[in-house]
């Protein structure tokens, strides 16, 4: 509990750490955890602080933060109502020349795409140059200053330099060994530059896994569906139950070699009810519960990539739809029942499940991208999966990919791809225990 309080105060005092993408992502995740905690504690002050950090980090990372913004505006609005604005009318003096308040310094909003905030006095000149077998795209910003020099790799092949060229001119340089195309605009006091190049992956190489025996740790693996419940049926007639079971068996084999004690809710093609799956995990006093599934989406065959869910109220329509599909085996599960149950959940278990979801998602994506191109990453999401509700330990549900995507369906039907995916899950479990002993 002390650790969570320390994290909250650090995030509140210093806000979002935008010195790098990975640190910004960590700040974003911490702010999300604080936000979940503030909801559970009904702490309005903590909620506002967490939302501000989520919005700041989300803007930097280019995430969709519209819902968090609306919630923050709603909370701030109620706070501002307490003050009498009319009492300050006589004190406030009209500004004769608003341009005098504009900053002389440029501000980098994002690096991919490159977005720089200007003021109304700044003007931009564009030129190209080829020198020493390198191709340069140069933007000179006049009547401008920059706080500090920036040297950064902003895509897989393009490098960026931003520096003060002379007293009143900032130079922005993009360069590459080969020719490259850009598209830019200088409208609405912004310099925007789009690149025709792939972005750098937001996931860096995870720390190497130390071979520490985890003999005390018990893992329960839950391959979804089975028997009369086929799960989703994707392209080429591929059935979900026939994909998730081999992944579960591969994961069991890897974890046992690393010293874990592993149990499976099913190791053959038979049906197990959702309540019995969680009872099985509780009966074996498991440290972690891993439920394995495949995704199905009708009408959009382009969607692909693994997604990891942890137990919490769903915040998106997509998460609600997936949860409703996976929960269909429970006939009496209504929205009201979900809210009542979720209100009594252990707060610490939700936070630990969120942390485990991050470690597993990061390692699965990283391991698959070592061998395959165009591996999607749909991140981690909260959702009210009934199979996770009854567990007494941190629990996640991983949707390993989409059986309605042609390329991903064929990959999931391949035994080598499944083994590599299982290894990513195992590495994520190791990473979680290394950080949370």
pLDDT digits (tens, 9 = 90+) for 38-53: 776 778 888 888 888 8
Tell me the pLDDT tens digit for each residue of 118-153: 988 899 999 998 988 889 999 999 999 999 899 988
Q: CATH 3.40.630.40 region(s) of the chain?
A: 218-435
Q: Range with the lowest mean pLDDT among 59-68, 137-146, 187-196? A: 59-68
Q: pLDDT band at 77, cuts 50/70/90?
A: low
Record: fold of 98-195: Immunoglobulin-like (2.60.40)
What pTM, to 2 d.p., does this model score? 0.51
pLDDT at res. 3: 44
State which of 104-118, 189-203, 235-249 shows the largest mean pLDDT. Answer: 235-249
pLDDT at res. 18: 74
Mean pLDDT of the chain: 81
Which of these CATH numbers, 3.90.700.10, 3.40.50.1010, 1.10.260.40, 3.40.630.40, describes 218-435? Answer: 3.40.630.40
Q: Is the pLDDT of residue 85 over 70?
A: no
Alpha carbon distance 236, 408 (integer Å): 12
Q: Is the pLDDT of residue 99 over 70?
A: no
Q: Which two tokens stand for residue 31?
A: 């702010």
User: What is the spatial order of strands in the sheet that 288-295 belongs to?
Assistant: 261-264, 218-223, 288-295, 395-402, 307-311, 380-383
Segment 318-334 mean pLDDT: 49
pLDDT at res. 9: 46
Tell me the pLDDT tens digit for each residue of 345-360: 556 778 888 899 999 9
pLDDT at res. 250: 97
Higher local confidence (pLDDT), 386 or 321: 386
Q: Range with the lowest mean pLDDT among 142-151, 277-286, 381-390? A: 381-390
Helix (H), strand (E), coil (C) string for the chain: CHHHHHHHHHHHHHCCCCCCHHHHHHHHHHHHHHHHHHHHHCCHHHHHHHHHHHHHHHHHHCCCCHHHHHHHHHHHHHHHCCCCHHHHCCCCCCCCCHHHHCCCECEEEEECCEEEECCCCCEEEEEEEEECCEEEEEEEEECCECCCCEEEECCCCCEEEEEEEECCEEEEEEEECCCCCEEEECCCCEEEEEECCCCCCCCCCCCCCCCCCCCCCEEEEEECCECCECCCECHHHCEHHHHHHHHHHHHHHHHHHCCCEEEECCCCCCCCCHHHHHHHHHHCCCCEEEEEEEECCCCCCCCCCCEEEEECCCCCHHHHHHHHHHCCCCCCCCHHHHHHHHHCCCHHHHHHHHHHHHHHHHHHHHHHHCCCCCCCCCCEEEECCHHHHCCCCCEEEEEEEECCCHHHHHHHCCHHHHHHHHHHHHHHHHHHHHHCC
Cis upstream peptide for 225 (omega within 30°): no
Q: CATH 2.60.40 region(s) of the chain?
A: 98-195
């Amino acid at each position: 509990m002390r650790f969570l309080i320390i994290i909250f105060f650090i995030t509140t005092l210093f806000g979002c750490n935008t010195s790098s993408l990975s640190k910004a992502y960590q700040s974003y995740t911490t702010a999300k955890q604080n936000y979940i905690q503030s909801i559970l504690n009904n702490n309005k002050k903590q909620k506002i602080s967490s939302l501000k950090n989520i919005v700041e980090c989300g803007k930097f990372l280019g995430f969709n933060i519209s819902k968090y913004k609306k919630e923050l505006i709603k909370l701030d609005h109620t706070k501002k109502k307490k003050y009498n604005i009319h009492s300050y009318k006589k004190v406030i003096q009209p500004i004769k020349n608003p341009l005098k308040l504009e900053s002389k310094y440029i501000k980098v909003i994002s690096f991919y795409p490159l977005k720089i905030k200007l003021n109304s006095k700044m003007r931009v000149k564009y030129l190209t140059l080829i020198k020493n077998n390198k191709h340069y795209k140069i933007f000179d910003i006049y009547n401008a200053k920059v706080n500090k020099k920036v040297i950064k790799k902003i895509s897989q092949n393009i490098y960026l330099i931003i520096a003060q060229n002379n007293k009143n001119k900032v130079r922005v340089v993009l360069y590459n060994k080969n020719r490259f195309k850009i598209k830019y605009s200088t409208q609405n006091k912004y310099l925007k530059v789009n690149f025709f190049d792939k972005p750098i992956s937001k996931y860096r190489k995870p720390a190497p896994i130390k071979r520490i025996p985890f003999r005390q740790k018990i893992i329960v693996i839950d391959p979804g569906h089975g028997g009369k419940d086929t799960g989703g049926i994707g392209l080429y007639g591929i059935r979900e139950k026939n994909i998730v079971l081999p992944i579960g068996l591969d994961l069991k084999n890897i974890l046992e070699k690393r010293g874990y004690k592993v149990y499976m809710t099913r190791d053959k093609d038979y049906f197990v009810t959702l309540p019995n799956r969680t009872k099985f995990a509780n009966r074996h006093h498991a440290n972690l519960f891993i439920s394995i599934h495949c995704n199905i989406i009708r009408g959009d065959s382009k969607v692909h990539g693994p997604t990891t869910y942890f137990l919490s109220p769903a915040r998106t329509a997509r998460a609600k739809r997936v949860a409703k599909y996976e929960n269909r085996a429970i006939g009496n599960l209504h929205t009201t029942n979900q809210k009542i149950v979720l209100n009594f959940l252990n707060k610490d278990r939700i936070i630990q499940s969120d942390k485990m979801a991050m470690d597993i998602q990061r390692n699965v994506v990283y391991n698959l991208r070592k061998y395959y191109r165009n591996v999607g990453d749909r991140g981690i999401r909260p959702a009210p999966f009934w199979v996770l509700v009854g567990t007494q330990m941190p629990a996640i549900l991983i949707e390993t990919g989409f059986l309605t995507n042609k390329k991903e369906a064929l990959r999931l039907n391949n035994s080598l791809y499944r083994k590599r995916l299982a290894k990513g899950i195992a590495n994520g479990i190791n990473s979680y225990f290394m950080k949370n002993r």
